[in-house]
Amino acid sequence: MIFTAGRLKAVGVFVGRLGVSAFAVWCILRFTEIDSIWANLKLSSWLGCVILSLLMVSHVLLCVWRWRAILKEIFNCEVGFRRLSFLFGISEVVGNVLPSFVGMDLLRAGALARSVSIAVAARSVICDRILGLLTLVIVMTCGLPGFAVFIDHGLALYAVSGLCFAALFGFLAVVLARPWLRRFRVLANTIDPLVGDVIRALSTRALIVPAFVSGLLIHIISAALLWASGLAIGVDLGLVYCLLIGPAAFLVSAAPISLAGWGVREGALAAGFGLVGADANQVIASSVLYGLTTFVTGAFAMVLGLVPESGPKRCQLV
């Protein structure tokens, strides 16, 4: 095998992110009890398992629905729901060993490129991800008053508030800077079309519900999944606490510095729930089960995608 500069760089990035996840896990284990975490990882509540299952199914259906709506309304591209479900499932399963959402998105785009053009595949996935992150920040921002009342009104509140407003103002600055971006050929050919896709998604009436409202619901369901993961193993983290702390931890774990957010997510959740006096071992056990649900949701999406689907595909990059 010939190790080119590109391959060496890719291997180096992978090893670096693996190291970040390993270091985060080591730090967690350093200040917790592995035996206690392992003991908590036992399904003990059938009600929690039922709630967890229903939330996972809802999460998959909403994610695939939003992706399909983006392809249809922005790119005039018809791809079957089951086909997209299968591709989404693959990215969820394999993405657990890839760098956070970046690895999942590359996998989704590459797999979709077999059905549509690579340009449509890449732009649809990036648009879907940006909308997901934007709605996540909006959920966090709307939860700030509750965070101040129920969680913390000191340094933690300032940190979360700063993160929210920096993200929102950063997005607004990029949108307002579109005329300036077009002056540079590289930016005009790369960043400007992506910004345009997101603006169209937020301004197209047919996309308001699938792109924006469903995005808010997806993140609320994700926080509820964390709560249900705890219930399934006999731990009640509190739904309100999960809705207020979970989104911030999910945003931190989305940074492409680790493998699928493992370790980083557990550390962020342990720190956040530590503000309300929750047991760190129980929080980490719930987070681990939450992370493992991606395998289950991915498998469900893949099974759903195996059902034959008829109908012609049409696609046009606009």
Distance CA 68, CA 112 (A): 11
Q: Which of 77, 78, 61, 80 is nearest to 308 (CA)?
A: 80
Beta bridge partners of 314: 78
Contact predicate 204/121, CB 8 Å: no
Cα separations in angstroms, 26 against 19, 22, 32, 194, 207 = 10, 6, 10, 38, 43
Distance CA 48, CA 52 (A): 6
- Residue 275, pLDDT > 70, answer yes
Q: Which of 180, 175, 190, 210 is nearest to 84 (CA)?
A: 210
Mean pLDDT of 215-240: 95
- Residue 205, pLDDT > 90, answer no
Mean pLDDT of 29-48: 72
Residue 18: give the domain boundaries: 12-305
Side chain identity at residue 317, one-letter code: L
Distance CA 59, CA 53 (A): 10
- Residue 269 has a pLDDT of 95
Residue 314 lies in a domain: no
> Tell me: the pLDDT tens digits for 261-273?
788 899 999 999 9
- Residue 1 has a pLDDT of 47
Q: Which of 268, 165, 206, 266 is nearest to 74 (CA)?
A: 206
- Residue 257, pLDDT > 80, answer no
Residue 104 lies in a domain: yes
Contact predicate 126/102, CB 8 Å: no
289 or 6: which leads in pLDDT:
289
Minimum mean pLDDT range among 12-26, 48-62, 102-116: 12-26
Contact predicate 205/138, CB 8 Å: no
- Residue 89, pLDDT > 80, answer yes
Q: What is residue 257's DSSP assignment?
A: T
Minimum mean pLDDT range among 20-34, 185-199, 242-256, 298-312: 20-34
- Residue 103 has a pLDDT of 67
Mean pLDDT of 294-300: 91
- Residue 278 has a pLDDT of 94
Distance CA 230, CA 113 (A): 38
Is 99 in a helix, a strand, or coil? Answer: strand
Contact predicate 89/305, CB 8 Å: yes
Q: How many helices (H) and strands (E) does the chain have?
A: 14, 0
Whole-number mean pLDDT of the chain?
A: 85
Residue 284 lies in a domain: yes
Hey, what's the torsion of the CAs at 39, 41, 42, 43, to 10 degrees? 150
- Residue 218, pLDDT > 60, answer yes
> Tell me: the pLDDT tens digits for 168-184?
999 999 999 888 888 88
Residue 21: which pLDDT band, with cuts at 50, 70 and 90? low
Residue 317 lies in a domain: no
Handedness of CA 110, 111, 115, 120 (dihedral sign): negative
Residue 116 lies in a domain: yes
Residue 4 lies in a domain: no
Residue 133 lies in a domain: yes
Contact predicate 275/288, CB 8 Å: no
Which tokens is 2 given?
């010939």
Side chain identity at residue 279, one-letter code: D
Contact predicate 99/259, CB 8 Å: yes
Q: Which residue has the tokens 């005329």?
A: 179
Mean pLDDT of 277-301: 92
Biggest distance spanned by C-alpha atoms of the chain: 60
Residue 2 lies in a domain: no
Minimum mean pLDDT range among 14-18, 36-40, 184-188: 14-18
Mean pLDDT of 308-315: 56
> Tell me: the pLDDT tens digits for 124-135?
999 999 999 999
CA angle 307, 308, 310 (to 5 degrees): 140
For the chain, the domain total comes to: 1
